[in-house]
Structure 1
Amino acid sequence: MKHEPYSSRRQALLRRIGDGIAVVPTAPEHIRNRDSHHPYRFDSYFWYLSGFPEPEAVAVFIGGQEPKSILFCREKNEEREVWDGFRYGPEAAREACGFDEAYPFAEFEKRFPDLLANRGSLWHTLGHDAAWDAKIVDGLNEVRAQVRAGKRAPTEIRDLHQELDRMRLVKDAREIGIMRHAAAIASAGHARAMRACRPDMAEYELEAELSYEFRKRGADGHAYAPIVAGGRNACVLHYVENDKLLAANSLVLIDAGCEVGGYASDITRTFPVNGKFGAVQRDVYEIVLAAQQAAIDAIKPGASFIAYHEAALRVLARGMLDLKLLEGNLDGLIENEGYKRFYMHRTGHWLGLDVHDAGEYKSGDEWVTLVPGMTLTVEPGIYIRPGPDVPEHLHGIGVRIEDDVLVTESGREVYTTAPKTVAEIEDVMRDE
């Protein structure tokens, strides 16, 4: 395991916290049922600073004139390794990850008050994990009880996640490389699903095609619960049952990404189950595709985060008027949000270690300005739920198109390459 880029990130955090102390625990293991666990996934903030993959671990960072980073982790246990696999143990973990010191996880609560004493500030995110909040409060109270011995507790508690969010928002070259790889794998998975799709298949069969391609190409697995939504199911934004049959003349919407090295990809494609768009399906699809292209074109350094949503929104609202879904004038529909009946979400979000990645979207009342290294999704859609005033030929059509985009020095780079135009989709589905 290489120390970089984790060591550099730790040094940046140590400079930021001054004479304070920061505590960053990893995620706990979770029981699925009885003695079976859910697959373990580390906490993103902890991983960002440590690169250490095991549960039962916490990193402590002490600033000041003699800054240092300390890792608490599970002890080496050869008996448990027979059952559960390799464990680093503190000494090997310290060497592998480049921490200054490392101790058994069981010693954290005993050592923490001494580490906490006489620090000016405590950097922790209260409310994120109740169990860790309790450990922090216990440590603070133990230091406060020793005031007559000349010890003092931190007088200020700062939100650590807010500080780390700013760091995580701009990706470094290594992160960009991993995310390109994740996007390439996910793109291949979507192309595979298109080639495999047939009328009367179950949605879960397409999910299986994605899962196979992701794992075959070395991804850790899905980055989130995949959506495979045929027909009217596509009008349910977070549909995850994936258990219905695909009708021949319907569309299927797949929202699925893989995770590689902790980093997510996030792609949505919508395509005809029988391999060829009907005329009405194509009309709706082309509106969403044009909206996505307008949004992508609006992404560049110096642009406001909201600018690409606004660019997509104008195209979508114009399209809703053309389809006779709405009446009125374009500016009025945007101002009164009449479009929200058929398009109710933002055009995208940050992407990284989390699918909805860390980072603020506004600073005060102002939207964040895009800078090189930021990575975001672009995912406009139209979802036409049946209604008495909705043209019947449009009932149940749901279309979303989503790609992952990096802000570059000169504009943007689209990571994801799954077939997207009508011609590309029909060609790949015809080839099988």
Structure 2
Amino acid sequence: MRLKLFTLCLFLFSVVIMAQDGVPTDYLSSDFHKERRESLRSKMADNSVAVFFANPVRNRANDVDYVYHQDPNFYYLTGYKEPHAVLVVFKDDQTDTNGNTFNEVLYVQERNPQAEQWTGRRLGIEGAKNELGFDVAYNGAEFANSGINFSGFDKVMFNNFNNDYRDSKRDKADLYSLIEAFKTQANYNEADLDNPIKNRVYDMIKATDVENSANVAQNISRALEYYPELKEDEVITGYVNATDDQTRIELQQQVIKIESETPKSNLDTQSLSTIMASLRQIKTEEEMVLLTKAVRISAMGQREIMKAMHPGMSELEIQGIHEYVYKKYGSEYEGYPSIVGAGNNGCVLHYIENSKMKVENDLVLMDLGAEYHGYSADVTRTIPANGKFTPEQKAVYDLVYEAQEAGIAATVVGAKFGSVDAASREVINAGLVKLGIVESEDQARQYFPHGTSHYLGLDVHDPGDYGALQANMVITVEPGIYIPDGSPCDKKWWGIAVRIEDDILITDNGPVNLSGEAPRKSDEIEALMKEKSALDDFVLPTLD
């Protein structure tokens, strides 16, 4: 019986391994991930440790899960694409019981032939070493007995938990078990964690002299509207509601006393986000290969739909053509839920229902992005479904184009991040007045309610510090105008929604539009929409 079981295991392993033939070879290299871990280590404080957990598996319905997507930070540092894993990075070399030194450990899913027959090959320990380049790797079940003395570090950095993971009960090395093991080993108590907002308010109270205390109390009062959880702190609410200086002085002393008596935890849920943002906002050459491909694939999707579009299409069909082009080019996923809004639907900024059965003669706003090997594009075009802009549509479209040109021109090294938005908004504000849609520029925000730019990379809204622009950042430039039905302007403008979004690489020699292959000018869009589409003859049978 044992021999038969061993033979079955070998067979299952061979089936799984053979199923992996023909996979892409242009993923990020193990050297890339290793260098990123070294860069992380260089930014860590002395005697600190960073702990990263893989993303949870998320349930779709009943016994069906969503397609798994790795946490971007975890992927950035490891290349590991499976769930139920932990990465531990030490600032300084550690020594194991055998005298061997190491500065990082990866805990992975254990190989399991029965499970792999259903869900695919797992890397296991050997794969983590041979394919991902880790010197030290263990099965996840060993994390509970890792022997890591977290109390011996000045800082234990991790991102606090969102409680969006399940306990599978059967698997003692699932994400739930790994997190519980960490909490035990690190003496985790959420009440002990620093609240950065509360700490900031406490610092304001401590630093304020009595002459300015009333003004500071007013500022804190406004903060309570944004952070209502602060109202639960009796010292803060007392300071805000105090009617005399002596009470505020007493409360100030109480803050000092509270902080002196509060035991300091070494658990740090703030620093890691800042460090990772500083790393990920600057793209390496290896990253740019993949990100550029994701953007170009997305631009090709926009080009093809411009040729294929007609008034009888549904929003879902338009979405499907984009995503079909993505798959043809090898994109694994969409970077975010696809937005296809015809007419008034385009005024919903993150409209994802895409349920309108015929786009008719409306403008169609299409905000979609391919994800290629983890990197996401974000490209938006707005086109007339019948191939020809009306005078009103063209007036609004050309204004957004002019604003985008101004925004792109502002994406230069050293400029403030907000200068891109300011440049675009200046054009739109003045243009809306000129068109008679608003009476004054201070009314324009209702029709341009969002920011103009964000970072782009492994996340469609990639982390960054939003400081000065630097070479090898990639950001979007996406001004828009949205005039919903019923707006306080001439009815001829109602239902017009325009957004133009491109992905811009910032260089020392000026901005590079990575998505420029998709036409942006109104006349260029109309010209491309006259061309024959490869999908013109793709007609499916009617279903009764």
* TM-score of the superposed pair, with normalisation by structure 1: 0.90
User: In structure 2, what is the Cα distance between the partners aligned to 1:246 and 1:421?
Assistant: 25
Structure 2 counterpart of 1:423 = 523
Cα distance in structure 2, aligned partners of 1:110 and 1:157: 22
Instruction: Give the counterpart letter for 1:354 in structure 2.
Output: D
Unaligned runs of 5+ in 2: 1-26, 95-101, 165-175, 189-263, 533-544
Q: 2:448 aligns with which of 329, 333, 343?
A: 343
Partner of 1:141: 187
| Matched position secondary structure for 1:319 | helix
How far did residue 91 of structure 1 move?
2.2
Matched, 1:86 2:121: yes
One-letter amino acid of the counterpart of residue 12, structure 1 = S
SS in structure 2 at match of 1:4: helix
2:127 and 2:183 map into 1 onto residues whose CA distance is 30
**Residue 354 (str. 1) matches residue 459 (str. 2):** yes
1:56 aligns with 2:84: yes
Q: How far has the Cα of 1:134 moved from its partner?
A: 4.8
**1:126, 1:133 within 8 Å by CA — same for their partners in 2?**
no
The one-letter amino acid paired with 1:327 is: E
Q: Which amino acid is 2:531 matched to?
A: D
Shift of 1:95: 2.3
Q: CA deviation at 1:311?
A: 0.5
Paired with 2:65 and 2:139, the residues of 1 have a C-alpha distance of 23
In 2, the alpha carbon distance for the partners of 1:419 and 1:229 equals 19
- Determine which of 370, 375, 392 is the counterpart of 1:263: 375
Contact 1:379/1:402 (8 A) holds in 2? yes
- The more displaced of 125-134 and 180-189 is 125-134
Q: Match for residue 249 of structure 1? A: 361
**CA distance, structure 1, for counterparts of residue 108 and residue 92 of structure 2:** 24
Alignment match, 2:511: 412
Aligned mates of 1:157, 1:272 — CA distance in 2: 51
Provide, for residues 245-275 of structure 1, a one-character-per-residue CA deviation record: whole Å limited to 9, x for no partner.
3343211000000101101000110000001
Q: Is residue 190 of structure 1 aligned with residue 288 of structure 2?
A: no
| 1:95 pairs with one of 111, 117, 130 | 130
Match of 1:303 among 415, 423, 427: 415
Please tell me whether the aligned partners of residues 118 and 154 of structure 1 are also in contact (alpha carbons under 8 angstroms).
no
Q: Single out whichever of 120-129 and 405-414 deviates more from structure 2.
A: 120-129
**How do residues 200-219 of structure 1 correspond to structure 2 at under 5 angstroms?**
200-219=312-331
Gaps of 5+ in 1: 143-152, 362-367
Which of 102, 111, 123 in structure 1 is aligned with 2:157?
123
Equivalence for 1:114: 148
Q: 1:388 to 1:369 in 2, by over 3 A?
A: closer
284-293 vs 160-169, which moves further: 160-169
State the match for 1:32 in structure 2. 60
- CA deviation after TM superposition for structure 1 residue 214, in Å: 0.2
2:140 paired residue among 105, 124, 127: 105
Question: What letter is aligned with 1:261?
Answer: H
- Contact conserved, 1:23 with 1:123, CA < 8 A, in 2? yes
CA–CA separation in structure 1 for the residues paired with 2:287 and 2:481: 32
State how far apart, in whole Å, the 1-side matches of 2:118 and 2:39 are: 38
Which one of the candidate residues 328, 338, 341 is aligned to 1:229? 341
Cα displacement string for residues 106-138 of structure 1 (whole angstroms, at most 9, x for unaligned residues): 121221x53425222111122445757654331
Q: In the aligned structure 2, how far is the partner of 1:125 from the partner of 1:166?
A: 16
Partners of 1:318 and 1:173 in 2: CA distance: 39
Q: Distance in 2 between matches of 1:350 and 1:123?
A: 24
Conserved? CA contact 1:42–1:55, under 8 Å? yes
Residues in 2 aligned to 1:285 and 1:216: alpha-carbon distance in whole angstroms: 30
Whole-angstrom distance in 2 between the partners of 1:40 and 1:53: 8
Letter in 1 for 2:522: V
2:403 pairs with 1:291: yes
User: Is 1:322–2:322 an aligned residue pair?
Assistant: no
Work out the CA distance in 2 between the residues paired with 1:388 and 1:254.
22
The residue number in structure 2 matching 1:149 is none
Contact preservation (8 Å) 2:160, 2:269: no
Residue equivalent to 2:254:
none
User: Match for 2:107 among 29, 52, 72?
Assistant: 72
Q: Kindly indicate whether residue 311 of structure 2 is the aligned counterpart of residue 199 of structure 1.
A: yes
Partners of 2:265 and 2:137 in 1: CA distance: 23
Does the aligned pair in 2 maintain the 1:246–1:252 contact within 8 Å? no
Distance in 1 between residues matched to 2:527 and 2:345, nearest whole Å: 25
**In 2, Cα distance between equivalents of 1:388 and 1:242:** 23
Conservation of the 8 A alpha-carbon contact between 1:220 and 1:259: yes
Q: RMSD over aligned Cα, in angstroms?
A: 1.9
Of the structure 1 ranges 89-98 and 406-415, higher mean CA displacement relative to structure 2 is found in 89-98
1:145 is matched with none
Partner of 1:114, secondary structure, is: coil
Matched to 1:136, the amino acid is: F
Shift of 1:323: 1.4
1:14 corresponds to: 41
Aligned pairs for 1:157-168 within 5 A = 157=268, 159=270, 160-168=272-280
- What displacement does 1:42 show? 0.2
Bigger CA drift: 299-308 or 91-100?
Answer: 91-100
Which structure's CA Rg is the greater one? 2
The alpha carbon displacement at 1:154 in A equals 7.2
Q: Which residue of 2 aligns with 1:375?
A: 474
Deviation at 1:192, TM superposition (A): 1.2
The offset of 1:62, in angstroms, is: 1.7
8 Å Cα contact 1:116/1:154 also seen in 2: no
> Corresponding residue for 1:402?
501
Highest RCO, 1 vs 2 (Cα 8 Å, sep ≥ 6): 1
Cα distance between partner residues in 1 of 2:34 and 2:282: 17
Q: Is the 8 A contact 2:149 2:185 kept in 1?
A: no
Task: Write the distance in 1 (CA, Å) between the matches of 2:528 and 2:383.
Answer: 11
